[in-house]
Amino acid sequence: MNIPEHIAIIMDGNGRWAEQHKLSRSKGHEHGGKTVQRVIDLCIEKGVKWLTLYAFSTENWGRSKMEVTYLMRMLDKFLKQRLPEMMEKNVRLHAIGELHMLPDYCRKTLAKSIDATAGNTTLNVVLALSYGSRQEITAAARRLAEQVKTGTLSPDQITPELLGQQLYTAGMPDPDLMIRTSGEMRISNFLLWQLSYAELVITDVLWPDFGRAEFEAALQEFAGRHRRFGKR
């Protein structure tokens, strides 16, 4: 089977899952966290090299203070608990987004995990945190504009490759496959530039219920696609 090098996932449906099971939203997020580890293990098993997870968007800051606080504490707890396992399984952690907006304790735990796993090579896990793709592209354009303003760059030197080097994902391969759970048919300001030629797979399954069967079905769907990249 043709396995994608890089899978990106919009992990949607924790809240709806909790409602269906008559549980609090926090319980939905808790079960969603368990799915993250399950998918990481599946990626290792299948030989996927990069996994990017849309963990917290810039828009998510608009949720209730109680929910945001819970999510930040859950992130901190997840990183602390999973660091030994990441080391054991040779997983390298990365993070993209407006990380300065995270609480200090989260940034410190995140930095510690990133530093500790820097030498690992089996799977790269990228957490998109306080991330918004329009904001990312705008910031990249602003940096190039500053270079033009100072005379170190001329406008005709700006290429897609040069702009790509200004994005959070510089040096990372673009996703080959993007999976979204919960059936929503949109990409929600996620990797707008990087998903240009990704194959999209949408599943109605809510994120806490996403497991081996759904993951393997997405891989089968990807393997059956003929990727033309606009050439024919």
Note the pLDDT tens digit of each residue in 207-224. 999 999 999 999 999 999
pTM higher than 0.75 for the full model? yes
125 lies in some domain? yes
Domains in the chain: how many in total? 1
Q: At what angle do helices 212-223 and 25-46 cross, to 10 degrees?
A: 50
227 lies in some domain? no
> Cα 147–153–156 angle (5° rounding)?
125
Average pLDDT along the chain: 96
Q: How far is CA 212 from the centre of its chain?
A: 19
**Active site annotation includes 189:** no
127 Cβ neighbours under 8 A, 6+ residues apart: 52, 53, 55, 93, 94, 95, 96, 110
**Active site annotation includes 60:** yes
Name the catalytic one among 12, 76, 176, 209. Answer: 12
One-letter-per-residue 3-state SS of 182-195: CCCCCCCCCCCCCC
Domain span holding position 137: 6-222
1 lies in some domain? no
Name the catalytic one among 2, 14, 41, 60. Answer: 60
pLDDT-based confidence at residue 229 (cuts at 50, 70, 90): low
CB 64 within 8 A of CB 23: no
For 112, the enclosing helix (H) or strand (E) is helix 104-116
Helix (H, G, I), strand (E, B) or coil at 130: strand
pLDDT at 81: 95
CATH number at residue 19: 3.40.1180.10
Note the pLDDT tens digit of each residue in 112-164. 999 999 999 999 999 999 999 999 999 999 999 999 999 999 999 999 999 99
215 lies in some domain? yes
15 lies in some domain? yes
14 lies in some domain? yes
- Average pLDDT of span 86-104: 98
pLDDT above 80: residue 230: no
